[in-house]
Structure 1
């Protein structure tokens, strides 16, 4: 046996039905989006900086901006940036130098030879460069 709805329940059901019909008429879809906490915090900061009070409004404006852009601009915006170039720290450089010197001691004969002077008397490298090669 079905329970009889109260006036408030009928009003709520009617309201939901009207909203659903309105959404269908305007072609509005509900989309659940999972977002990382850091991204959400960044979006909140952008909302405050640009005067938005609702995330939905900001996202709709971003969507319209993206769709209005040329295909080339859309492709540029969608490019995934590579990780920053590998950086060799001074500590890593010292470790490499130490390991290289140890390897040269284990296997003599593959050392870098100091360049010979050029025929016209100029040096190929300066003293600082020679220190590196020793």
Structure 2
């Protein structure tokens, strides 16, 4: 009987290859060899992104007040740049959007009142046009 190929107690079971067949996989290794994402700290400036509507199952439900759409998992701040949570889900009509904020540990969503403003790093916003249908471009070929 032959021992299994690759793996053993030293390998990963795939001969040192990740699921794509490439060597050296490793989780979270980016271009510069960094591990998992790190806390970037508060941004230099924040812009208003939403207003608190109500709490639901420990999350804060907020109404979008900015013309741009936040990234998923983008940090949400108070005006003084204190992080209170991250964008969890975005829902609603395109002209009246809402999103929920997964609150950070130790922060309670019920401590906010309706209308309280939440803020975001402007670099964590996408233009609304990214979510609208784009015109189709037809390429014409010239036959000479």
TM-score by length of 2: 0.24
Q: Which structure would you say has the larger RCO, counting Cα contacts within 8 Å and 6 or more residues apart?
A: 2
TM-score by length of 1: 0.25
Higher strand share: 2
Higher helix share: 1
